[in-house]
Structure 1
Amino acid sequence: MIIKNTVYNLLGLGLPLLVAVVSMPVLIHSLGDARFGVLTLIWAVVSYFGLFDLGLGRALTQQLSVLIAAERDEEIAPMVFTSLLMMTGLGLLASALLWFGAELGARSISHASDSAEIIGSIRVMAIAMPFIVLTTGFRGILEAKSAFGIINLIRLPMGLFTFLGPLAIVLWYKNDLVAVTAVLTLGRVIACLVHAYFAARCLPGMLNARHFNASFMKPLLVSGGWMTVTNIISPLMSYLDRFLISTTISAAAVAYYVTPNEMITKIWIIPGALTAVLFPAFSSQIGSGRSHELMDLYRRSVLYLLLAITPMTLIIAFASKEILTLWVGASFAEQSSSVLRIFSYGVLISSITQIPFSLLQGAGKAALTAKVHVVEFPVYCLLLWLSCSYYGLEGAALVWLLRICADGWIMFYFSFDILEIRFTEVFGTKFIALMTLITLSFASTLIPLAGLKIWQFSSCLAIIAAYMWFSFLSENERLLSKRKVYAIFGK
């Protein structure tokens, strides 16, 4: 079940990336660097305001799962109606904030050429906010019914539409941000209606009791709890860099920063797909006290993620300039290749950090992760502002990397401390040596050897792979790997 649901998530999240790879260079060329930078800011605002469900989507999944398991059918319809009504109100609030804050947002963007176009784009997307928030509620219903196949069947075409819709507008209709955001808004509305349709099919009679029941508010809001704080602050830290760049440098600089960031961070779908199904597994093993199985799953998850993601991020770091040149052009690559190298290492660290983060969440320690992010936030804001003001894009990327590394260290530390698992029981000094080898390999990308870049990359990867093979894989895992290799190449 874990493997099947992980594959569903990978397909639903990953296939639209193939379209993104083709569409983003065309959008950059058609809209221009500055206007494309503004479009990425609008995407960021809409993504962040989508968190205005305040965790109610996840809370609805949790509460609804309890009611279904306990066969308390008479409470399901009131719970669903109450939660959806609350989310409608929150969506309308988010819409109003976006609509009336559009002028302020447009004025805050440095060197923006057409503020009227920016204001119009923000206000068009504001119309989509109630539908975006409600979609999280309908998805929560589907998750409670374990309808992951349906969720990803919806996610796939909608993900494709996110890139193909704007592409069609700029190529065949009008090179205008308002028109692009209008088609994105249409996509959000359709996504909401499709989710609603399938939620009603999976949970017949979910709106039979159409009255607001205040008694359900407390469990819904409490279930969101500290997780809501994390859901608000963590994305804010993720998007803050691009807004500070727009105000301290220029809107065009945002494009040089965001484009490599958006490209490399799509790798996060791999740990995201895995941790989505690891979360209930961790919760189950913690609750049953199976510490040995928990440590084994924890260890293998981290090591397998390293094994999967290190080659991808390392080759992107080594070939950052070449990749960006082929994708978006030589002049763009000249501005962005250095930050892509920094992002590559950060994505690797953040990927393995999702394992201890999920472990802490599964142990009911959402308050701890939220408090960590609350403490990190003001420090990150100050350092990011200073770096953008004095050191440009590379400074902003280095501060981003510093936050990622600090967050990773803290999450690993508390996962061992709170669950009373010693580091040496799970990894030991061999893991420190492995991470040192990986870090040195990424550092070597900053000083590539002329004409020997392929050999430099191959040597780094071979050393890392050999160390993992002999130091971390068991005899059974080595044997299984040999059999799979022989099955593929032996014929």
Structure 2
Amino acid sequence: MMSYRTLPGKMVPLIRATYQNKFFLWNMFGNIGPLVFALFAVPYIYGNASREYVGFLTITWAAIGYTGLFDFGLSRALLYFAAASKFNRQTDLEGAIRKSVLFAIGISIAINLLLYLFSERLSQSLAVRGDDQLAAMFIISATLPIYLVSNMIRSSLEGLEMFKEANIFKFAAYVSLFLCPAVLIAIEDRSLSHVCVAYGAVRLACCLYALAKLLPRLAERRAPAAERVSIPIGKILGFGGWATVSSTISPLMVYGDRFALAYFNGASAMAIYALLQEFIGKTILLSSSYITSIQPKLGYLAEPEAMDLYRREHKNVILFSVIIYAGCLLVSPIFVAFWLDVTIAEVAFLAAAMSIGFMFNSIAQAPLAYLLARGHPRRIAHAHVVEALLYFPLLIVAARQHGVVGAAIVGVLRQIFDYGILSWQARRQTA
């Protein structure tokens, strides 16, 4: 028993739990697998395409990555209700999915109508050049229903703890972002509109695969019509609306420092900062993969059991994060110094600051997942609004007067505050 009081001793149950957690391993496959593929595909794309092609392609990646903002948080809501349906089999999950899909299609039609009406102004603001880029933009918009519906189906799979199927979908969908342009370039096709058509076709195939896996599970869990408890669309939108507030504010806080630095100090000041942020920030996928694997269970267990599980896994995530970001602290300065041909001393402080900050961000995944699982997205939204109101004024002052060092310090303070306020909100729930 004494050995477990040392750090290596504490790692034994963590390693055992991680190895035995097949859901976590599937999440790693879905989240990390596409990035490994990108390490080989992206240099090929960059080396065999024009800057204009690559620039618009990165905008396309960002647009596809943030399509979730247009579903008003319904994907997160369906994950919650799918998990809850495991506890209460009378919950009409099938009806909730149907209502959400119809709402998403309606939103997509409205967005396409607005895009058509303001297409000229939008193309000017995005510096869209030529018919090919314009066609690509309209193809992404036209295929928006596919992206929204597929995200909802994937979230429903995750809520039902069908992580294998959800991550096969995720792996195929996200690998296609790099595979499609690489294959088209290899056959001398550099049309961006063709890339976007390929994206839509692959996502449709992935959506049909996920739907084929989901429908039998819904059928076997379907309660008699007289016993079904319908979930009103207002309740789904209520959950999703608060989740959308958080999912909109969070990326602004994560990337807001880059905009502030570029505005006050010039884009040249961001090279080391941005590369370190990307390198260290991507490791958040490890802790999020771990905590997401238990999020449905946190939702469908009774309150005492969920509280015990949360407290136990919270400790695991803390240990997990300390190990990961101690490694980042040691490795990231060497990596960035080699990549940008600068001295380690030039990047050491920023590497230390960001490693500490992202460590707290990683640990914060535990209370965040718990609050979502227990149906409290409003508390998360309130926390993030308070955080943003404090962060942005401090960021502007720090970036203006102290450059990258000031922005990094304020960023660390924000991430510590984020963990603190979310943990407090989770303790309110578990008290």
Q: TM-score, normalised by structure 1?
A: 0.67
Q: For the Cα contact (< 8 Å) 2:96–2:231, is it kept in 1?
A: no
Change over 3 Å in CA distance of 1:11–1:179 after alignment to 2: same
Residue 376 of structure 1: which of 368, 374, 387 is its match? Answer: 387
Residue 185 of structure 1: which of 188, 193, 200 is its match? Answer: 200
- C-alpha separation in 2, matches of 1:408 and 1:366: 15
Partner of 2:9: none
Cα deviations by residue, 1:406-460 (Å, 9 ceiling, x for unpaired): 323333444456645xxxxxxxxxxxxxxxxxxxxxxxxxxxxxxxxxxxxxxxx
| SS at structure 1 position matched to 2:109 | helix
- C-alpha separation in 2, matches of 1:255 and 1:116: 33
Gaps of 5+ in 1: 421-491
Change over 3 Å in CA distance of 1:414–1:218 after alignment to 2: closer
Q: Identical aligned pairs, as a percentage?
A: 24
Partner of 1:351: 362
Change over 3 Å in CA distance of 1:282–1:238 after alignment to 2: same
Partner of 1:4: 22
Partner of 1:407: 418
Residue 63 of structure 2: which of 42, 45, 57 is its match? Answer: 45
- C-alpha separation in 2, matches of 1:151 and 1:165: 21
Partner of 1:172: 187
Is the counterpart of residue 196 in structure 1 residue 211 in structure 2? yes
- C-alpha separation in 2, matches of 1:187 and 1:357: 32
Is the counterpart of residue 80 in structure 1 residue 91 in structure 2? no
| SS at structure 2 position matched to 1:146 | coil
Give the CA deviation at 1:291: 6.1
- C-alpha separation in 2, matches of 1:402 and 1:108: 34
Partner of 1:485: none
Give the CA deviation at 1:276: 0.9
Most deviating of 16-25 and 55-64: 55-64
Q: For the Cα contact (< 8 Å) 1:316–1:341, is it kept in 2?
A: no
Which AA in structure 1 matches 2:34? P
Give the CA deviation at 1:203: 2.8
Q: For the Cα contact (< 8 Å) 2:287–2:321, is it kept in 1?
A: yes
Give the CA deviation at 1:43: 2.5
Residue 63 of structure 1: which of 77, 81, 86 is its match? Answer: 81
Which runs of structure 2 are paired with 1:13-32 in the superposition (5 Å)?
Answer: 13-31=31-49
Is the counterpart of residue 220 in structure 1 residue 236 in structure 2? yes
Give the CA deviation at 1:135: 0.9
- C-alpha separation in 2, matches of 1:25 and 1:396: 30
Residue 303 of structure 1: which of 315, 319, 325 is its match? Answer: 319
Give the CA deviation at 1:404: 2.7
Which AA in structure 2 matches 1:92? I
Give the CA deviation at 1:21: 1.6
Partner of 2:149: 134
Change over 3 Å in CA distance of 1:170–1:223 after alignment to 2: same
Residue 269 of structure 1: which of 282, 285, 298 is its match? Answer: 285
Most deviating of 182-191 and 5-14: 182-191
- C-alpha separation in 1, matches of 2:267 and 2:318: 37
- C-alpha separation in 2, matches of 1:367 and 1:177: 40
| SS at structure 1 position matched to 2:161 | coil
Partner of 1:316: 331
Change over 3 Å in CA distance of 1:38–1:378 after alignment to 2: farther
Give the CA deviation at 1:347: 2.9
Gaps of 5+ in 2: 1-16
RMSD: 4.3
Is the counterpart of residue 234 in structure 1 residue 250 in structure 2? yes
Q: For the Cα contact (< 8 Å) 1:162–1:187, is it kept in 2?
A: no
Change over 3 Å in CA distance of 1:9–1:95 after alignment to 2: farther
- C-alpha separation in 1, matches of 2:265 and 2:287: 33
Give the CA deviation at 1:146: 2.7
Give the CA deviation at 1:371: 0.8
Cα deviations by residue, 1:30-52 (Å, 9 ceiling, x for unpaired): 44667645543432233223222
Cα deviations by residue, 1:432-490 (Å, 9 ceiling, x for unpaired): xxxxxxxxxxxxxxxxxxxxxxxxxxxxxxxxxxxxxxxxxxxxxxxxxxxxxxxxxxx
Give the CA deviation at 1:314: 1.7
Partner of 2:178: 163
Aligned residues: 406
Give the CA deviation at 1:126: 1.5
Cα deviations by residue, 1:298-331 (Å, 9 ceiling, x for unpaired): 2233123322x12431233221335535xxxx59
Change over 3 Å in CA distance of 1:419–1:200 after alignment to 2: closer
Q: For the Cα contact (< 8 Å) 1:61–1:141, is it kept in 2?
A: yes
| SS at structure 2 position matched to 1:232 | helix
Is the counterpart of residue 93 in structure 1 residue 110 in structure 2? yes
Which AA in structure 1 matches 2:290? L
Q: For the Cα contact (< 8 Å) 1:350–1:404, is it kept in 2?
A: yes
- C-alpha separation in 1, matches of 2:74 and 2:216: 21
- C-alpha separation in 2, matches of 1:172 and 1:254: 36
Cα deviations by residue, 1:219-252 (Å, 9 ceiling, x for unpaired): 3223435233223322344455667788889999
Most deviating of 63-72 and 146-155: 63-72
Most deviating of 339-348 and 390-399: 390-399
| SS at structure 1 position matched to 2:66 | helix
Which AA in structure 2 matches 1:93? A
| SS at structure 2 position matched to 1:203 | helix
- C-alpha separation in 1, matches of 2:100 and 2:29: 29
Change over 3 Å in CA distance of 1:23–1:260 after alignment to 2: farther
Change over 3 Å in CA distance of 1:219–1:343 after alignment to 2: same
Give the CA deviation at 1:6: 0.8
Partner of 1:367: 378
Which AA in structure 2 matches 1:82? K
Q: For the Cα contact (< 8 Å) 1:321–1:337, is it kept in 2?
A: no
- C-alpha separation in 2, matches of 1:65 and 1:290: 13
- C-alpha separation in 1, matches of 2:51 and 2:257: 17
Q: For the Cα contact (< 8 Å) 1:41–1:243, is it kept in 2?
A: no
- C-alpha separation in 1, matches of 2:192 and 2:266: 18
Structure with bigger RCO (C-alpha 8 Å, 6+ apart): 2
